Amino acid sequence: MIALALLVALQGAPVQMGVSVQPDTVTVGQHFIVRVRVRAPKGAEIGFPVGPDSGVAVEAVDPRQELNSPDTTVVERTATYRLVAWTTGAQKVVLGSLVVSANGADRRYEVPAIPIVVKSVRPTDSTGRIPRPARDVMLAPPLVWPWIAGGLLVCRRSSRVPDSAAWN
């Protein structure tokens, strides 16, 4: 597992946060997982960020999944984000801040930006090539089917044998 692990005690509070990404190098459109794990004092409530905004270089594929730890001495919760990157190069995943509520007070903690490398799916020898210009819009031909239907109708009537000749 390739992961970036940060275990940081934030602002002197007894709250700890760890962030990991798997894998840390992806291709354009490939899904990757970011996990944010928070440990807070017993009785605290943890509110994770929703995820990155849609329409940016990195966006969420699914809503985040939260998992509680079975440890009863503290509150430990892990949020899992399944993301996808659309722009090549070094990217930073910005999730925002999480909120820890304890003893009637809310404290915000910024989730550190998570670095990820996004590689192109194109072959390396194609990076110096200039693509061809876009083709012109194809114009639809004029309505020909009424003429075809009319021609078939005329041919059918002219090839008909008269009713009187059919009985002779």
Tell me what pLDDT residue 163 has: 58
> Once rounded to an integer, what is the mean pLDDT over residues 137-153?
77
State the virtual CA torsion across 140, 142, 147, 148 in degrees, nearest 10.
Answer: -20
Residue 142's contacts (CB-CB under 8 Å, 6 or more residues apart) are none
Three-class SS of 63-114: CCEEEECCCCCEEEEEEEEEEEECCCEEEEECCCEEEEEECCEEEEEECCCE
**pLDDT tens readout for residues 7-64:** 333 334 488 999 999 998 999 889 999 999 999 988 889 999 888 877 778 888 888 8
Burial letters 35-51, b for 16+ CB under 10 A, else e: bbbbbbeeebebebbeb
**pLDDT tens readout for residues 80-137:** 999 998 888 898 888 889 999 988 888 999 999 889 999 887 766 655 667 678 877 7
Going from N- to C-terminal start, the domains of the chain cover 6-121
pTM for the full model? 0.63
Tell me what pLDDT residue 5 has: 35
Does residue 69 have a pLDDT over 90?
Answer: no
Burial letters 132-145, b for 16+ CB under 10 A, else e: eeeeeeeeeeeeee
Contact 19, 91 (CB under 8 A): no
CATH number of this structure's domain 6-121, picked from the four choices 2.60.40.10, 3.40.1280.10, 1.10.3720.10, 3.40.50.720: 2.60.40.10
Pair of tokens at residue 80: 């899992």
Tell me what pLDDT residue 167 has: 54
* Angle, alpha carbons 114-119-120 (nearest 5°): 145
Tell me what pLDDT residue 3 has: 34
